[in-house]
Structure 1
Amino acid sequence: MPQRKQTTVARILSQYEIIIAVGEVDGIKVGDQFTIVGKSNDEITNPKTGEVIGFVPIKKAVVRAKQVFERFTICENANTKYSSLFGAASIAANFDAKSPLNVRKEDIQSVDKNAKPVPIEVGDEVEYIH
């Protein structure tokens, strides 16, 4: 991802998929991984002044690029596993054991009417891993 090192969560499609605001024009490829970063609720204060000086950043999830479009990418939990139902020699279709992402239910804007909704927030920072 040569042009941008950070982006944001643009949309939450379901508990399994999010859209991030980078795509082919930014050098993203299927399989690239990203960290979704947020802030903890734990305020850090200056002990001398009492001023809030920030919040501890937390890693919310690691996601993998599943489908890359010109200017956005659909990502899934990087912990999602793909394997064959009956072993490598089988001609049976593969199944996937999707791992849900921790997303805010009210941010889900599903494209698929049959998708079942589940917290990550729109606007969260996204950092490219590799």
Structure 2
Amino acid sequence: MTEFKIAKIISDTTVVITGGTTQGIKESEEFTIYGKSDEEVTNPDTGEVLGTLDVIKGKIKVIAVYEHMSVCENVERTNLNTPQIDNSFGQFVRIKPLNVDRAQITGGYSPTATPLIKIGDLAIRSK
């Protein structure tokens, strides 16, 4: 499994990862952003280490590929339609923001239940 890292946070919907065409990344590929845990889970009977409880922070899709990096955006979308408005042109959607560490882009901070995505987090190919 090839691992890449978040190299830059462009906005709350867009990040750059440390892999590009040289690493075989193609446009539209999807990655899962993980937060690595230091705490190991062990089998109480054998003492065998079963692994760590890593946290999924988000899922991203490649929208532009460079030689050694790729620009990715959140795969989640939010429906902007409201039941009070008759929309004869179809649904309006926007990219749902990733839960990035806003100190690493600019602007304020809005805490949520999902851990913050930070520079250095892993991005692992998921499709």
Per the alignment, residue 120 of structure 2 pairs with 123
Whether the 8 Å CA contact 1:17–1:75 is kept in 2: the answer is yes
Note the C-alpha offset of 1:39. Answer: 3.3
Question: CA 1:41–1:107 in structure 2 vs 1: closer, same or farther (change >3 Å)?
Answer: farther
SS of the equivalent of 1:106 reads helix
Please give the per-residue CA displacement for 1:10-59, whole angstroms capped at 9, x wherever unaligned.
01111010000001111111110000000358775898xxxxx9752011
Contact 1:38–1:124 (8 Å) recurs in 2: yes
**In structure 2, what is the equivalent of residue 107 of structure 1?**
104
- In the alignment of these two chains, the number of paired residues is 109
Alignment match, 2:2: 5
Residue 102 of structure 1 and its aligned partner are, at CA, apart by 0.4
Give the TM-score normalised by structure 2.
0.69
Structure with a larger share of its residues in strand: 1
Q: Distance in 2 between matches of 1:16 and 1:117?
A: 15
- Report the counterpart of residue 22 of structure 1 in structure 2: 19
Distance 1:69 1:44 in 2: 38
Contact 1:15/1:117 (8 A) holds in 2: no
Question: Would the aligned equivalents of 2:32 and 2:59 in 1 still touch at CA under 8 Å?
Answer: yes
The CA RMSD measured in Å over matched residues stands at 3.1
Regions of 4+ moved over 2 Å: 39-47, 85-88, 116-119
Rounded Cα–Cα distance in structure 1 between residues aligned with 2:89 and 2:67: 36
Structure 2: 5+ residue stretches without partners: 45-49, 79-86, 110-115
Distance 1:21 1:117 in 2: 26
SS at 2:33 equivalent: strand
* Contact 2:75–2:95 (CA under 8 A) maintained in structure 1: no
1:80 paired with 2:110, answer no
Q: Structure 1 unaligned runs (5+)? A: 48-52, 89-94, 111-115
What amino acid maps onto 1:60 in structure 2?
K
